[in-house]
Amino acid sequence: MNIKLVCILIIVLGMISTVNAHGLHVTPENATMIVIADNSTGVPAKKLANDIGLNVSVYNFKSGDDVLHELEHAINNTNKTILVVAYQDTVTDFLSKHPEVSGRIFVSSSDEMDIKNGLILLNSTASKNTNTSSGFLTPFITGIVIGLIGGLAGGVFWMKKKSA
């Protein structure tokens, strides 16, 4: 009886899947331009973005760990460009460990002119990242070339079989 109970317990425990929680992701995946701020820099950054006419999402973070978590998500999302106006030390350390994202993450001071220049830089970088699509013509011509090659190969095979 004890052996059956132990076997059932081992089977049940073996069937339980582990939970791997990475934490809450604050910004949506489709957000292309975001500003990382805190309570003192969030409102001025949003006001400057509205004055310039940029559609930028400003997120207020409570700690450097939350900012670090958000930056880790930005590593794989190449469409996301980030301006950081708070927690600059955390972001500078992150950029030294991950230089591959230094072209998409910009650090600015909390000065109004620096934030404005950072927003302009953010807009120009985001527009460069979104204008790299191939459009309609490239896939269309690729499909035609593949179809022609496949059609010629099929025609040759069919004619060889028909003549034999």
b/e string for 112-136 if b means 16 or more Cβ within 10 A? eeebbebbeebbebbeeeeeeeeee
Q: Structure tokens of 150? A: 């496949």
User: Tell me, what's the pLDDT at 91?
Assistant: 92
User: Tell me, what's the pLDDT at 122?
Assistant: 85
Q: Confidence class of residue 128 from pLDDT cuts 50, 70 and 90?
A: low
User: Tell me, what's the pLDDT at 25?
Assistant: 56
Q: Confidence class of residue 131 from pLDDT cuts 50, 70 and 90?
A: very low
- Read off the pTM: 0.62
CA distance linking residue 3 with residue 30, whole number of Å = 54
One domain for residues 52 and 117: yes
One domain for residues 47 and 102: yes
How many domains is the chain built from?
Answer: 2
One domain for residues 70 and 150: no
One domain for residues 85 and 125: yes
Q: Please check the confidence at residue 97 and state whether its pLDDT lies above 90.
A: yes
- Average pLDDT score over residue span 70-79: 84
Report the amino acid identity of residue 67.
V
One domain for residues 65 and 80: yes
One domain for residues 139 and 125: no
Residue 76: closest CA among 100, 96, 59, 106: 100
Report the amino acid identity of residue 140.
F
In a domain, 46, yes or no: yes
Find the domain containing 89 and state its range.
33-130
One domain for residues 163 and 97: no
One domain for residues 120 and 141: no
Contact predicate 67/61, CB 8 Å: yes
One domain for residues 100 and 115: yes
Q: Is 38 left (phi over 0), alpha (psi -120 to 50) or beta?
A: beta
Q: How many CB atoms lie within 10 A of CB 75?
A: 14
Residue 54: closest CA among 126, 131, 133: 126
Q: Please check the confidence at residue 15 and state whether its pLDDT lies above 80.
A: no
Q: Please check the confidence at residue 127 and state whether its pLDDT lies above 60.
A: yes
User: Tell me, what's the pLDDT at 73?
Assistant: 83
One domain for residues 73 and 143: no
One domain for residues 108 and 43: yes
User: Tell me, what's the pLDDT at 106?
Assistant: 92
Q: Between residues 51 and 18, which one has the greater pLDDT?
A: 51
Residue in this structure with the two tokens 């997120």, named with its chain if needed? 59
